[in-house]
Structure 1
Amino acid sequence: MQNATAPTQRDPKRWLALLAISLGVFMSLIDTTVVNVALPSIQAHLNASYSDLQWVISAYTIVFSVLLLIWSKLGDLYGRKLIFLIGLVIFTIGSGLDAASTTIGWLHIFRAIQAVGGSAMMALSFAIIGSTFDNKERGIALGILSSIIGLSTASGPLLGGWLTDAFNWQSIFTINLPLGVIAVVLVLMFVPSAQEHHATGGVDFLGMLLSAGTIFTLVFGLVQKEMHATWDWGNMQVAGYLVAAVVLFILFIWRQMKAKNPMMDLSMFKSQTFVGAVVMAFFLGAGLYGFFAYLSTFMQNYAGYTAWETGLRQVAISGWSLVLGPVAGMLTNRFRHGYMLAVSTLFIGGGLLIMSFLITKTATFAELWPAFIIIGIGSGSINPPMTTAAMSSVKPQQMGMASGMISTFMQVGLSFGVVFQGLRLADGYQAGLKAHMPDLAAVHVPAELITTLHNVLVKVGPFSGSAVAHSKQVLATPFAHQIQEIVRIAFDRGFVEILRIDAGLLLAGGLVSIILIKSGRLGGKQ
């Protein structure tokens, strides 16, 4: 159904409310990427292992994903401003605790606390904006918020690199303290407390437990596979969690069908437009945001850029969000949302395909920038029609849950994307090594040494292959350049596979959008 409900009177402070919500969302999302570039400093200062460092990221990702739907329901029941504010305070406190960590174990715990707050902010952001602005302005407001989301996702390496280089790793967390205080004040002053439509009934505790269990076992199973690439899918430490996720999901659906006051109103899924929006969110997380994770690795580890230089060049992608987000938001009042999404995915998918053909063993930003711009145009315009379609296809009292569903599907998509693309990268990397390591015989490298080098490079994987190729031991040999070239070719082989997979995911999402999403000016029944 089309949500035609609008605020009876425009709140004169609504644009300042948008600023407050945007600041909170920016803080919560940038912390999913800003920490990546600080990992070497954290490793040195806290004497952390590689596995420890992975959990610095995974602890945040898992908790963030698990709680999205729970916070969404609590916001619908008890007030979205209240729950957003609670999340903002928890996030700010968690950031301070992160910076005060004296061991890697405490950092893991405090990152999880930080994610509790970040999840609450992200879960309710779209719903607060959707209910604060009327139908005419809603698209523009959601477009601005979407541009902030796109900017935060891509600017993490830039900000993290600058803070780590200029100060220390703790600064990537302490910067949230003054920003958090400012955001709290802005939310208290400008976000309206009145919520015209509240969900009714009590809290479905069993539904919440099943929801959290489903998402936890799903994401944790994927994280296990990501952290242990040599494990096959039948390993019980992977398959066990994924099977548990399926069982818990079935129980969750059963509970929602039987409960007097279910956590989630399944009638939302009667809307093709809503279904199309959440499916598009999954493809966007898996394809585009998964791509960003590996783009930074390519640019820093293989193209030779520092974290700061990497972030600066990625502005060619992320910078478009600031311009096109609001423009796309305005256009949601004029065009069918499914068609807009299809055009955006065509740009992103086309840019990824073009980039896959531009990748060579010497390629740098100087050769890749046209693809960056094409990807940026698509990524800068894709969120507004997706979120507007979702918000306009549900009842006002369901907006919080709808907002949480979009965020959840995007996070789960990101987890899927990172894992499956990581596997494809490793396969391509290993195939490249197998094909080209024998070439070292032409420069008189002994066969035993070739085998030893091959085994070492396979063991360290595509993320660390370049570090080995540029290590002191290798640089001391007369064939160092040949090894570096082979490792670059091997990585590129896997990276090209990722680009083409991501292009396929985005184009598939665009096709789904055309078929299912009927909202918008030219849309009809949903």
Structure 2
Amino acid sequence: MNEQKPIKVILVLGLFSFLSALSGSSTSLAIPKIALSLEISSGLATWVLQSGLITTTIFLVAFGHMGDLLSKNFIFFSGGIAFTIGSAITGIAPTFSLIIIGRIIQAFGSSMIMANSMGIVSDYFPDKKRAQALSYISMFISAGSISGPAAGGFIMSVSSWRWIYLINVPLMIAVLIFGHHALPIPKVSIKQLKSATQGANWMGQGLFTAGIIIFFLSGAIFQSRSNWLIGLITLVVGGALTIYSFYQDDVANLPWISPKILHNRPYLVSIMALLLVMLVNSVSNILLPFYFQSYGLMTPFQSGLLIMLQSLVMLVLSPFAGYLADRVNRQLMTIIGLVILTVSQIGYLLYPAGMNLTRIIIPIVINGIGMAFFLSPNNALTMGLVDKSLTGIAGSLNSFSRTIGMTIGISFGSSILFALLPNVDQITPALGETFLSAFRGVFYVAIAISSLASIMVFVRYLRAKKTA
């Protein structure tokens, strides 16, 4: 590999990831405008976000498997094309139904990108440089997450919400052209595609798809507070189907996930820890706007600036964390990151009744430090625990854990909050200590979850030392 090749690979992967993260974070901001523009309810408009999230989650594993069988570069590049087409459809769609179709196609492309980006890094970078390479990708994702609300807000202030999606089209075309020159994209024939999918475990994929959709629906039922029993039944059925789909795949003739992956205990600890970390992080992301805006009467702009500090800290520290992870014990670094993350959750637990900026900002910054010191080492560790021929499926499972953790955190963080606030429809400063008690109750759960993740990786570290 020539000296310029690693830089080009990082740029291609980073720019694809940046645009995907930018679109995702902008979509959240656009939902109220979409509801008004199409004259639909705010609840219905949230499916513009949820449909994309569900689609991405469902297809991550399948596209990771396809990347290993065919070509990671081909699947990744095809994802960019699908993302571009989906963005165009969403931007020009005259009806809500067509917008959802556009978002599904866009998310289809995002899942192809996410499922193979880590595998491509593993193909192009040796283990001793992998953590730093992955940290640069995390920088692009953080930059996209930071820029999304600002860019989306600016676009909607001067034009229609539709340009949040339409702007992706020329930008992604430019990245696709650059990517075509930077990454070798092999030609894949229809015959090869048929061969790769023929006899695949479609029953397992169907069970997984049904399980994920039912699981997501339970969050919507909980949030509506219409029937907690139905919500609980839906949650259990969806979770059971999803878990069973992995068992069914493990015993299938042609599984999507190699048995070597599912029986690799250190690898499974890594992706389970990632799921728990993303769950905890998403809880704070969904709860802090309630504390800042609804309870503290901050403006959305002020609230956004405060929440943005976490991504900003991650953006700055990710390269440093990646540099360290390539030179010191990665397992030890993940433990340090998780301990720091747990401390940040304790900080949220101690949020004051008044808007004391110092006490508010410190936990957010600590949260960003913990995430930076956990993610880069854990990602590199995850990919180093599997055979090179399985990096596609290993990377896609890692992305799946990240996505499902975020989704659970968003759905159930708010559900727990309102469960602790019976008969409360709107959070206002008048709730006082009632709101703060519920707010703290959720973070007690977050502390327990982050502590569990810390114990898991610490036990793995001790076992690794014994066998060393």
TM-score by length of 1: 0.80
Question: Does 2:88 align with 1:96?
Answer: yes
Question: Does 2:352 align with 1:359?
Answer: yes
Letter in 1 for 2:172: G
Residues 220-231 of structure 1: pairs in structure 2 closer than 5 A: 220-229=214-223, 230-231=225-226
Among 155, 160, 172, the residue aligned to 2:152: 160
Per-residue deviation at 1:364?
A: 5.5
Question: Does 2:434 align with 1:513?
Answer: no
- Structure 2 match to 1:450: none
Q: 1:31 to 1:354 in 2, by over 3 A?
A: same
Q: 1:390 to 1:233 in 2, by over 3 A?
A: farther
Higher mean C-alpha deviation, range 325-334 or range 491-500: 491-500
- Structure 2 match to 1:437: none
1:22-79 Cα deviation digits (max 9, x unpaired): 1111222333332122222111111011221121111111101000001111111111
Report the secondary structure of 2:75's partner residue: helix
Say if 1:161 and 1:308, in contact at 8 Å, map to a contact too.
Answer: no
Say if 2:250 and 2:262, in contact at 8 Å, map to a contact too.
Answer: no
Among 28, 32, 41, the residue aligned to 2:33: 41
- Structure 1 match to 2:368: 376
Say if 2:278 and 2:406, in contact at 8 Å, map to a contact too.
Answer: yes
Say if 2:201 and 2:256, in contact at 8 Å, map to a contact too.
Answer: yes
Letter in 2 for 1:403: G
Among 212, 218, 234, the residue aligned to 2:212: 218
- Structure 1 match to 2:23: 31
Question: Does 2:301 align with 1:277?
Answer: no
Q: 1:101 to 1:329 in 2, by over 3 A?
A: same
Say if 1:429 and 1:491, in contact at 8 Å, map to a contact too.
Answer: yes
Report the secondary structure of 2:417's partner residue: helix
- Structure 2 match to 1:345: 338
Per-residue deviation at 1:486?
A: 1.8
Say if 2:270 and 2:378, in contact at 8 Å, map to a contact too.
Answer: yes
Per-residue deviation at 1:498?
A: 2.4
- Structure 2 match to 1:58: 50
CA distance in 1: counterparts of 2:175 and 2:27, whole angstroms = 21
Q: 1:228 to 1:105 in 2, by over 3 A?
A: farther
CA distance in 2: counterparts of 1:313 and 1:495, whole angstroms = 18
Q: For the aligned residues, what is the CA RMSD?
A: 2.8
- Structure 1 match to 2:297: 304
Question: Does 2:183 align with 1:239?
Answer: no
Per-residue deviation at 1:234?
A: 4.0
Q: 1:524 to 1:208 in 2, by over 3 A?
A: farther
Per-residue deviation at 1:525?
A: 5.3
Residues 72-471 of structure 1: pairs in structure 2 closer than 5 A: 72-153=64-145, 155-193=147-185, 202-203=196-197, 205-229=199-223, 230-232=225-227, 234-235=229-230, 239-240=233-234, 242-243=236-237, 246-247=240-241, 249-250=243-244, 252-259=246-253, 261-360=254-353, 362-363=354-355, 365-430=357-422, 458=424, 461=425, 465-466=426-427
Say if 2:286 and 2:414, in contact at 8 Å, map to a contact too.
Answer: no
Q: 1:41 to 1:202 in 2, by over 3 A?
A: closer
Listed as ranges, the gaps of 5+ residues in structure 1 are 1-8, 196-200, 431-454, 467-483
Letter in 2 for 1:302: Y
Paired residues, number: 461
Say if 1:150 and 1:379, in contact at 8 Å, map to a contact too.
Answer: no
Letter in 1 for 2:446: D
Say if 1:281 and 1:407, in contact at 8 Å, map to a contact too.
Answer: no
State the identity as a percent: 20
Q: 1:13 to 1:315 in 2, by over 3 A?
A: same
Q: 1:358 to 1:298 in 2, by over 3 A?
A: closer
CA distance in 2: counterparts of 1:370 and 1:165, whole angstroms = 32
CA distance in 1: counterparts of 2:304 and 2:156, whole angstroms = 13
Among 37, 49, 60, the residue aligned to 1:68: 60
- Structure 1 match to 2:440: 496
Say if 1:159 and 1:308, in contact at 8 Å, map to a contact too.
Answer: no
Say if 1:151 and 1:321, in contact at 8 Å, map to a contact too.
Answer: no
Say if 1:225 and 1:233, in contact at 8 Å, map to a contact too.
Answer: no
CA distance in 2: counterparts of 1:247 and 1:355, whole angstroms = 34
CA distance in 2: counterparts of 1:339 and 1:516, whole angstroms = 10
CA distance in 1: counterparts of 2:144 and 2:448, whole angstroms = 25
Report the secondary structure of 1:43's partner residue: helix
Per-residue deviation at 1:293?
A: 2.4
Say if 1:344 and 1:378, in contact at 8 Å, map to a contact too.
Answer: yes
Listed as ranges, the gaps of 5+ residues in structure 2 are 188-194
Q: 1:266 to 1:486 in 2, by over 3 A?
A: same
Say if 1:288 and 1:506, in contact at 8 Å, map to a contact too.
Answer: no
1:375-412 Cα deviation digits (max 9, x unpaired): 11112222111111111000111001011111111222
Q: 1:93 to 1:339 in 2, by over 3 A?
A: same
Per-residue deviation at 1:297?
A: 3.9
1:127-156 Cα deviation digits (max 9, x unpaired): 111211122221110111123334434553
Report the secondary structure of 1:502's partner residue: helix
Letter in 2 for 1:257: V
Q: 1:233 to 1:429 in 2, by over 3 A?
A: closer
CA distance in 1: counterparts of 2:309 and 2:443, whole angstroms = 17
Q: 1:238 to 1:166 in 2, by over 3 A?
A: farther
Letter in 1 for 2:6: R
Letter in 1 for 2:445: I
